[in-house]
Amino acid sequence: MLNENFVIVGAILNLIGSLNYLVATIKGGVKPDRVTWLLWSVIPFIAFTAQIKQGVGLQSLMTFMTGFTPLMIFLASFANKKSFWRLGRLDIICGTLSIAGILLWYITKTGNTAIIFSIIADCLAAIPTIIKSYHAPETEDYKIYLLGSLAAAITLLTIKTWSFAYFGWPVYILIVTLLLTVLIRFKLGRLSSSW
């Protein structure tokens, strides 16, 4: 069990990965899907608010950072002409379902329910980037996701109260960021098509 102050180290790692991705976004080295990054900037703030209302302490910093850093990248994407705001059918479906999750949380106003719906909404918002990472890994940079997974793992190692309010969001972030890291770093879509 790590001291809870290690969450700050995780937040710094998350910020480093995000700043790297931010620079790559501005320079045109990556092509963030604006739909995903917009939703990734809004949804974690809901989970963060729910965690605060449920008494989650410093561990909620990781959740805050998973909303703050995508907001920076979303805004930076407008400086990159390669970024896209393509609203295909999948984007519309995932975005609509994400917004429905947010509305369901708003209606229920229950902390754990808010976290569950935030996880579902965030996961749905991630689908376009997961698919893009599978088919076009060169349009992404795995480092942001790798450092995000390290931040989530560090947060999990600091938890003393094992309730859903504490571990739900970090476990989800660990899973989705590891998936994106593997897809991008090892170009699994390219590998499977060469078989």
Domain spans in the chain, listed from the N-terminal domain onward: 6-193
CA gyration radius, the chain: 16
Kindly report, residue by residue over 29-84, the tens digit of the pLDDT.
998 888 889 889 988 988 898 899 899 999 999 999 999 999 999 999 998 776 66
- For the ranges 4-8, 61-65, 106-110, 116-120, which has the lowest average pLDDT? 106-110
pTM of the model: 0.91
Q: Give me the residues paired with residue 66 across strands.
A: none
Q: What is the DSSP letter of 154?
A: H
Asked whether the beta carbons of 33 and 129 are under 8 A apart, the reply is yes
Asked whether the beta carbons of 1 and 161 are under 8 A apart, the reply is no
CA distance 128 to 88: 10
CA distance 68 to 75: 11
CB neighbour burial string for 68-98, b if at least 16 within 10 angstroms, e if fewer: bbbbbbbebbeebeebbeeeeeebeebbebb
Asked whether the beta carbons of 4 and 158 are under 8 A apart, the reply is yes
**How far is Cα of residue 18 from the mean position of the Cα atoms in its chain?**
11
Where do we find the tokens 């902390």?
111
Kindly report, residue by residue over 135-162, the tens digit of the pLDDT.
999 999 999 999 999 999 999 999 999 9
**Which phi and psi (to 5°) does residue 84 adopt?**
-135, 155
3-class DSSP assignment, residue 33: strand
* Top-ranked range on mean pLDDT: pick from 59-63, 85-89, 112-116: 59-63
CA atoms 101, 169, 86, 93: torsion sign: negative
Return the number of other C-beta atoms located less than 10 Å from residue 65's C-beta: 24
Return the number of other C-beta atoms located less than 10 Å from residue 109's C-beta: 10
CA distance 12 to 115: 23
The answer, yes or no, to whether residue 86 has pLDDT greater than 70, is no
